[in-house]
Structure 1
Amino acid sequence: MTIVMVVYVASVVGINLIDSENMSASARIALSLIPVLPAIAMVFVIIRYVRRIDEVQQRIITEACLVSLIIVGLACFTYGFVEGAVSLPEISLIWVFPSLIGTAGISLPFVRLRYV
C-alpha cells in the first residue's frame, strides 16, 4: 500500500512539473491519466486487504463504505440541484473519489460502535 501511495504522489507531482502547454491534446490527456494507474492499483490492494480480514471486519468496512456512498452521493445530488438554482461555484469531479474514501474513513469508527 505504501509503495502504491508513493507512486501516486510522485506521479501527481511529476505531471505538474512537466510543461504540457506545447503538447498535443492526446499527449496531455495521456499525461493527465498517469495518476489514475496507481489509484487503480490501490483499489486492488484494498480489496486484497478486505478479503484477508475476518467477516465482522469486512461487514464493518462494507457498512462504512455504504454510509460514505450515501452521504457523498446525496451531497453531490443536492449540490447539483442547488447549483442549478442559484449561482454557486462548480465543483470538479476529481473530488468525488477522495470524498468517498475520506467519508468512509470518518464513518468507520461510528459504524464500529454498533459492533462493540
Structure 2
Amino acid sequence: MVNRGHVTPLLLSDHGATPVHCPYELPLGLGRLGRPSARRSDPAAVPLPPGRTLLCYTDGVSEARDATGAFYPLAGRLTTLGTATPERLVSFLAHDVHEYAGLFADDLAILALTRE
C-alpha cells in the first residue's frame, strides 16, 4: 500500500482503530511537483488478519463539520458499530456523515476491506 494524498487508513478490530502507516507520496498526477531525484516508495505490505477491516476514506469523512463547525467524530462513531461487515460499515458511515454534516461540497469516498 502507498498513500497517495489521502488521510491515514485505519485497521479496525474488536479493540478499536489503529492507523496504518505506509509510505506517503504526492497525490496522483502531482508527482512532477516533487524532486526529480526522489525515488518512488516501495509499497508497504499491510497485514489483514481475519476479523479485521481495513478502512480507507477521503477527507470528506474526516473534515465533515456539523452546524457548529465541529469535525465529524470518526473514532467515536466507529466504536458504536462493534464488529461490522464492510457493507454495513460503508453504509453506516455514508449515512452518518450526511446526517452529521447535512449538505456539504466535499467528496466522500469510503472503502472497507476484510478477509474471509
Which structure shows the higher strand fraction? 2
TM over 0.5, shorter chain? no
What TM-score does the superposition give when structure 2 sets the normalisation length?
0.25
| Greater Cα radius of gyration, structure 1 or 2 | 1
Which structure shows the higher helix fraction? 1
What TM-score does the superposition give when structure 1 sets the normalisation length?
0.25
